[in-house]
C-alpha cells in the first residue's frame, strides 16, 4: 500500500494578515490532496498543525471537511495527530482535528492518533503494518512523551514476525539533532522499532526533493522531516528559499519512500545569495528584480519578494525604500525587507536605543549641567579638529576660572 505523509499545513494562516496568503494555503492544500488521490495512496497521514489555530476560520474548517469527504469517497483513510497549533490552550475547548468525528460521512474514515490511542494497525500480505503517533508534547511533558513512545514499542514487540512488520511513527516535536535549541526529545529517545519516523513541527526539510523515484533507506529508523508545505515566516524564507512543497509517499511492501514536489501557489523571490544586497549596487539589482517580477506572476498571483540590504554607502532607509517601491510598484503582493547599516546597528547595540530617537542636546544637558553649552558646541565640532580645539580651550579656561573661584571661597 502507498501511504502519503504531509507536513505542517496551517490552514487558516494568513501571512502578514493577507487574505491572499490564506487563500494560497487552501489552494496548495487542495492540490496536494488531488495529488494524493492521483498517487492512489490508501492512507494519508498529517503530521500535526493541520490548522493554524485551535479556533480556525470557518473557511479553513470547510476546506478541510470537503477534502476529508473526498478522501472518504476515494477510500483513502486519514490519520491525524494534533500539533501545538491545533491544541487549544483551554482544555475544555474542542481541538479542531476532532471535528471529523461529528460528521457521519467521514467519522469512520478519519483516525486521530494520540497518547490514549497511539496505534493504527492493519495486515497486508500476512505482515502487520503499524502506524503509530502521539500528539505534540511540550518540553515540560518530555517524560510522558518518552514513556508513551516506550509503551508503543513494547506493545509492538509482543507481535510475532516483528522483523517482517512495517512500523511508522508520526511525531510533531522538535528534535535536538535538527534544532539544538529545542528542549524536547532527541533521536536516541525514540525506541529503535520503527522503520520510518516522520516529524512535523520544525517546518524544516531534511531531504532533497530532487529525486522523484523510490529510495531504499540504509538505516533504521529513517527520520524524515518533509517540512511545512508553505512558507510561513522570515526564518523559513531565509533558511529554505523554495518554491515547492514536498510530500512523501511510502510503499509499505518495498519499505521505500519517494518525495513528491508540488509547486507553491505563489512565487517567492530573493535576489541575494549568501550575502546581503549592497546599497552601492542596489540600482542594478533592482533592475534585475523588475525583470524577474514580470516573469513571476503565476495564475494572476503576484510574487512575494524578500530582500536583505546592507547600506554600505549610507544612502539611508528612506531612499532605499523609495528605490524598492519604484522597482516593485504594482508587481508584487508584498516586499519583505531588512535594511542594515553597520554604523547604526553598532550605536544601537551600545546604547540599546536608536540614536534617531534621542535629543542630543537634552542628553548633554543632563550629563554636563555646568558646561552643557560648551560640550554641545564640542559635539557639533566633533568632525572639525581645529574647531574642536578652540572649544576645548574655552572649556578649559572656564573650568580654570571656576576652579580658582571655588578654592578662594
Ligand atoms: Mn507548525
Phi-psi region of 314 (alpha: psi -120 to 50; beta: other; left: phi over 0): left
Higher pLDDT, 142 or 400: 142
Sheet of 127-133: strand order equals 119-124, 127-133, 166-172, 196-200, 222-224
Nearest to 193 by CA among 143, 157, 240, 239: 157
**Could you tell me how many residues make up the chain?**
409
Q: Would you say residue 355 has pLDDT above 80?
A: no
Report pLDDT digits (tens) over 143-173.
999 999 999 999 886 565 556 889 999 999 9
Of 12-21, 29-38, 181-190, 262-271, where does the model show the most confidence?
A: 29-38
pLDDT for the residue numbered 347: 52
Residue pair 38/4 in contact by the 8 Å Cβ criterion: no
Centre of ligand 1 to C-alpha 275, Å, is 28
Average pLDDT over residues 64-74: 96
Whole-number average pLDDT of the chain:
88
Average pLDDT over residues 296-316: 91
CA distance from start to end of the chain = 101
Centre of ligand 1 to C-alpha 52, Å, is 7
Q: Would you say residue 357 has pLDDT above 80?
A: no
147: β partners: none
Centre of ligand 1 to C-alpha 154, Å, is 29
Range with lowest mean pLDDT among 180-194, 321-335, 336-350, 363-377: 336-350
Q: Which residues surround ligand 1, an ion (CB under 5 A)?
A: 8, 49
Q: What are phi and psi of 93, to 5 degrees?
A: -75, 155
Query: At the fourth CATH level, which superfamily is domain 2-263?
Result: Metallo-dependent phosphatases (3.60.21.10)
Centre of ligand 1 to C-alpha 228, Å, is 7
Centre of ligand 1 to C-alpha 182, Å, is 14
pLDDT for the residue numbered 344: 55
pLDDT for the residue numbered 351: 47
H or E element at residue 199: strand 196-200
What are the boundaries of each domain within the chain?
A: 2-263, 270-349, 359-408
Higher pLDDT, 199 or 407: 199
Number of continuous H segments (helices) and E segments (strands) in the chain: 10, 15
Centre of ligand 1 to C-alpha 245, Å, is 14
Higher pLDDT, 297 or 158: 297
| Pairing state between β 222-224 and 256-263 | unpaired
The model's pTM is 0.80
Centre of ligand 1 to C-alpha 227, Å, is 9
3-state SS, residue 177 = coil
Centre of ligand 1 to C-alpha 86, Å, is 9
Report pLDDT digits (tens) over 214-254.
999 988 889 999 989 887 765 565 555 567 888 999 999 99
CA–CA dist 7, 10 (Å, integer): 9
Average pLDDT over residues 313-334: 93
CA–CA dist 298, 6 (Å, integer): 24
Amino acid at each position: 500500500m502507498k501511504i502519503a505523509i504531509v507536513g505542517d499545513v496551517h490552514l487558516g494562516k494568513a501571512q502578514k494578515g493577507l487574505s491572499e496568503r490564506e487563500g494560497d494555503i487552501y489552494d496548495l492544500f487542495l492540490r496536494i490532496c488531488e495529488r494524493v488521490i492521483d498517487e492512489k495512496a490508501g492512507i494519508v497521514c498529517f503530521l500535526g498543525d493541520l490548522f493554524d489555530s485551535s479556533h480556525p476560520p470557518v473557511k479553513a474548517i470547510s476546506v478541510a471537511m470537503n477534502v476529508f469527504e473526498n478522501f472518504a469517497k476515494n477510500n483513502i483513510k486519514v490519520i491525524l495527530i494534533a500539533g501545538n497549533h491545533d491544541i487549544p490552550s483551554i482544555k475544555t475547548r474542542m481541538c479542531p482535528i476532532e471535528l471529523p468525528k461529528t460528521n457521519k460521512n467521514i467519522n469512520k474514515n478519519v483516525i486521530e492518533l494520540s497518547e490514549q490511542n497511539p496505534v493504527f494497525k492493519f495486515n497486508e500480505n500476512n505482515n502487520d503494518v503499524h502506524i503509530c503517533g502521539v500528539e505534540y508534547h511540550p518540553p515540560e511533558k518530555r517524560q510522558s512523551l518518552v514513556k508513551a513512545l516506550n509503551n508503543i514499542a513494547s506493545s509492538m514487540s509482543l507481535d510475532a514476525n516483528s522483523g517482517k512488520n512495517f512500523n511508522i511513527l508520526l511525531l510533531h516535536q522538535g528534535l535536538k539533532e535538527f534544532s539544538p535549541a529545542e528542549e524536547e526529545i532527541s533521536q536516541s529517545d525514540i525506541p529503535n522499532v520503527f522503520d520510518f519516523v516522520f516529524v512535523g513541527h520544525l517546518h524544516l526539510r531534511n531531504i532533497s526533493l530532487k529525486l522523484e523515484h523510490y529510495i531504499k533507506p540504509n538505516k533504521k529508523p529513517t527520520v524524515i522531516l518533509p517540512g511545512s508545505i508553505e512558507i510561513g515566516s522570515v526564518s523559513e524564507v531565509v533558511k529554505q528559499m523554495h518554491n515547492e512543497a514536498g510530500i512523501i509517499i511510502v510503499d509499505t511492501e518495498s519499505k521505500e519512500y519517494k518525495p513528491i514536489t508540488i509547486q507553491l501557489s505563489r512565487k517567492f523571490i530573493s535576489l541575494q545569495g549568501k550575502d546581503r544586497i549592497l546599497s552601492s549596487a542596489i540600482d542594478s539589482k533592482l533592475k534585475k528584480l523588475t525583470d524577474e517580477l514580470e516573469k513571476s506572476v503565476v495564475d494572476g498571483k503576484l510574487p512575494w519578494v524578500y530582500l536583505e540590504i546592507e547600506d554600505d554607502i549610507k544612502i539611508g532607509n528612506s531612499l532605499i525604500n523609495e528605490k524598492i517601491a519604484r522597482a516593485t510598484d504594482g508587481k508584487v503582493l508584498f516586499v519583505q525587507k531588512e535594511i542594515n547599516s553597520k554604523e547604526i546597528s553598532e550605536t544601537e547595540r551600545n546604547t540599546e536605543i536608536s540614536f534617531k530617537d534621542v535629543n542630543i542636546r537634552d542628553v548633554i544637558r543632563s550629563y554636563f549641567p555646568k558646561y552643557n553649552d560648551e560640550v554641545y558646541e564640542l559635539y557639533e565640532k566633533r568632525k572639525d579638529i581645529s574647531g574642536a580645539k578652540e572649544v576645548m580651550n574655552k572649556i578649559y579656561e572656564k573650568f580654570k576660572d571656576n576652579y580658582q573661584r571655588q578654592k578662594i571661597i
